[in-house]
């Protein structure tokens, strides 16, 4: 079970997040309008709620997991800088301070 969870990707890129949000809102809006109309025709508010709940479940299934369609634009990360020796940093600072002192004279 642990091996299976490690092999699954758990990220979504920024454009994928935008797509998932738009898809979620469109599904909820569509099912809300259809549910309202259906509930009005049946004259039962509970029918509206059932249709809206079905839309909510569908939108959760389509937008919450990081499907491959949400990972098409991965970020390009910069490479890590190599660590510098702290002794060299202190020598460079000393040299800069000496230059500043000589310029001010």
Percent of all residues in the chain with a pLDDT value above 90, rounded to a whole number: 49
pTM of the model: 0.66
Maximum separation of any 2 CA atoms in the chain, in Å:
92
Task: Tell me how far apart the terminal alpha carbons of the chain are, to the nearest angstrom.
Answer: 71
Q: Please tell me the distance from the alpha carbon of residue 17 to that of residue 3, in angstroms, as a whole number.
A: 26
pLDDT of 93 higher than 80: no
The model's confidence at residue 103, banded by pLDDT at 50, 70 and 90, is low
pLDDT of residue 48: 96
39 against 9, higher pLDDT: 39
Question: Which of 66, 61, 58, 55 has its CA nearest to residue 8?
Answer: 66
Q: Is 46 helix (H, G, I), strand (E, B) or coil?
A: helix
Per-residue pLDDT reduced to its tens digit, 22-51: 999 999 999 999 999 999 999 999 999 999
């Amino acid at each position: 079970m642990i091996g299976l969870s490690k092999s699954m990707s758990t990220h979504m890129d920024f454009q994928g997040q935008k797509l998932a949000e738009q898809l979620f809102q469109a599904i909820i809006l569509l099912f809300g309008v259809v549910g309202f109309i259906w509930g009005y025709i049946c004259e039962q508010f509970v029918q509206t709620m059932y249709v809206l709940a079905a839309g909510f479940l569908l939108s959760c299934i389509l937008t919450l997991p990081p499907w491959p369609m949400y990972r098409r634009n991965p970020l390009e990360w910069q490479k890590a800088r190599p660590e510098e020796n702290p002794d060299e940093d202190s020598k460079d600072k000393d040299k800069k301070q000496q230059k500043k002192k000589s310029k001010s004279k």
